[in-house]
Amino acid sequence: MLWFDFGLALAVCLSALYVPGLILMASMRMNIFPSLALAPAVSCFLMSAACVLLPMFGVFADWVSVSLAIVGLLVLFVLAGYLFRKKTRLNDWPKDSFSLFGLSCRTSRGIVLALALCVGVGTGAAFFLTAIQAPDSFFQAFDNGHHINGIALFVDLGNWSSFGGGFYPSCWQAYAAFVSSCTGVAAPLAINVVNFCFSFIVFPVSMVFLSYVLFSDKPFAVLASCVLATAFVAFPWRLLVFGPIYPNLAALAVTPSAIALFVDILNRIEAKGFDSHIVVGIVLFVFSAVALFFLQPNSIFTSVVFLAFFCCSYAARIVCNRFGASSGKAALLRVAAFVTCFVAIVAIWLVLHNTSFVQNLFGEPGYLLFGKAEAVKHAIALSFTSNNPQYFLVLLCVVGVVYSLFNRKYFWITASCVLSMILFVVSVSDFNEAVRNYLTGAWYHDAFRLAANAVLPCVLLASLGVFAIADLLVSGFKLGMKKQLCNVFGCALLLLVLLLAYIPLDSKYPESSAFGSIRSEISKAYSTNQAYCILTKEEISFSEKVKEIVGDDLVINVPDDGSVFLYGAEDINVYYQTTRIWDPSSEDWESAALRLRLDEFDSDSEVRNAVEETGASYVLLLDEGATADDQSQAWFFTWRWYADWWDGITSITEDTPGFELILSDGDMRLYRIESA
């Protein structure tokens, strides 16, 4: 039954991600390939705009009201498009510009889309869906308490805006809330559905679209990117088991399509000048940039890093073509334009980093995992934050780098890759604090995010590498090789790449490979086995019985024992929905009294007043008698530091006056507060 719910929720999520964007671009007469690639970015823009607007008008947000708001925005934009569009197709590449195996452009694009989706969905099913214990299993890590409870709060309170309580990019949460609101599934299942869509459907198509824009004259490189888009463990796989930082995962999945649109706009300006197509393209790019901001703002900085050398090369080429006369003057102009553009990008970067929004991120320490030399080795081996190198992909990337040295048109991709690797090394090792702040502060100095960023240029270089190998081999065997045989050879090479990139070669020790290891990590992270999780299978079963007793009444809890997840996962109205009081100096007096002295309820009038003010009726302990020194089970890291913050609750036993034990099993207890 749960897998049926998963399938239904998947259909709802895909509809929300693709239908609004496809409708808008259909009104612009855009071709299906760019439409499918750009639709999630446009839909995310519409979703974010709708979620911001609804509370401004006092409208309760649910899947119906959000859908109607999106429809209203669509009508406005479609009408505006009809006023300004001309009877030509937008972003329609020449029909003879892309051909696989001698097939038509339309058929070739269809093959590319189909292969990208097959590999993306297939690998997602093989290494993610089969690894999680159930469709509603969830990663029991610190940040996920915020995600799960935040989604449930969205559904219950009806305010999905990113500005609901100060700014927080909540587009990813809005999609999970939309799925939960529409289908009735709990937040954990909705999270898995949304993550699957972004990781294994949106990202592969988005990445292949970027490859298509860059390599349309090299169809085999585009085809190779279909196979390689999800082959790098650092993204999207690693972000499924770290943090979790799901908003960052969703943002990075959309980023390649926004980058592709930017590149295509500049290329069109260079080729045809400024026309109505460019205007609409710029509008779509603005929509995409706003979507990235509401998904995770640091994806905009990721785009800047990726595009910096493209922009510099583009500026050099434009200036040279327009003003260069003699070869000596052309070379001088190229250098001047390149340097000027680079200085301008650095200046903009510094201005953005001096805003209070980014400055607030500088205090995050990040993860100092390696020394500088070791960090470089991990980057070159593409193992990044893990210990599982991907040497086959390294080989393909090296071939791609060598190819870019001979075909300078693509050298900027190599430069972008090197820059991304440098940022990773800076983030993961002990560099000067000021250098770390200005280079990696936008990503919280987080090596996992920066490793994920590096995957984008790596996919392109590896795809170029496959193309170069195929071209070299076909040229070497050219004697008497017919066209049909070349096609068979190309398909065989792609199949080999697919096998070597994903399948563990050592059947006895599959976990020694990158994908064998990540599948094992996913299995552990999404497990309810006592050894790996905080909220165990037994505690979930106990919580289900608790829900039957308490209904919607407020339950005082110790969040570090796993009960932090119960609001979003089991619909239990627990009082503490985060594992840490971020600023005790501004904490409500009721909360402080409950945490520190609830066990004195019978004798302390202030505690009784706190209970009355909050309306609490029950106390839940999932690990009665546990201490910070207990090593027998998993805990949040906050428990090790702040266990004494909860002494007033953990000290309660069945002998404590004012509390009646009404449910127990092992070390799990539910008490009723007698006055309640």
564: tokens are 């932090």
Question: pLDDT value at position 437?
Answer: 86
CB 606 within 8 A of CB 593: yes
Edge-to-edge strands of the sheet including 554-557? 554-557, 616-621, 668-673, 659-665
Question: pLDDT value at position 479?
Answer: 46
One-letter amino acid for residue 402 of the chain = V
CB 263 within 8 A of CB 243: no
CA proximity to 222, closest of 382, 384, 37:
37
Long-range pairs for 353-362 at CB < 8 Å and ≥24 separation? 353/437, 353/438, 353/441, 353/442, 357/297, 358/441, 358/442, 359/441, 361/441, 361/442, 361/444, 362/437, 362/441
Summarised one tens digit per residue, pLDDT across range 151-165 is 999 999 999 999 987
Q: Which residues of the chain have pLDDT under 70?
A: 84-96, 323-328, 363, 476-485, 505-510, 530-532, 628, 630-634, 676
Backbone angles phi, psi at 382, to 5 degrees: 60, 20
Residue 49 to residue 290: CA distance in whole angstroms: 9
DSSP string across 556-581:
EE-GGGTGGGHHHHH---BS--SSS-
Question: pLDDT value at position 94?
Answer: 43
Question: pLDDT value at position 55?
Answer: 95
CA proximity to 138, closest of 293, 276, 248, 244:
244
Residue 97 to residue 112: CA distance in whole angstroms: 14
CA proximity to 621, closest of 553, 544, 559:
559
526: tokens are 């999404």
Residue 617 to residue 162: CA distance in whole angstroms: 32
CA distances in angstroms from 359 to 325, 438, 513, 548, listed in the order given: 46, 9, 39, 47
User: What angle do the packed helices 142-157 and 187-197 form, to 10 degrees?
Assistant: 110
Map 579-618 to HEC letters. CCCCCHHHCCHHHHHHHHHHHHCCCCHHHHHHHHHHCEEE
| CB-based contacts of 260, cutoff 8 Å, min separation 6 | 37, 206, 209, 210, 212, 213, 214
Classified as helix, coil or strand, 385 is coil
pTM of the model: 0.94
Question: pLDDT value at position 86?
Answer: 53
CA distances in angstroms from 173 to 31, 59, 67, 167, 658, listed in the order given: 30, 18, 16, 13, 40
CB 543 within 8 A of CB 572: yes
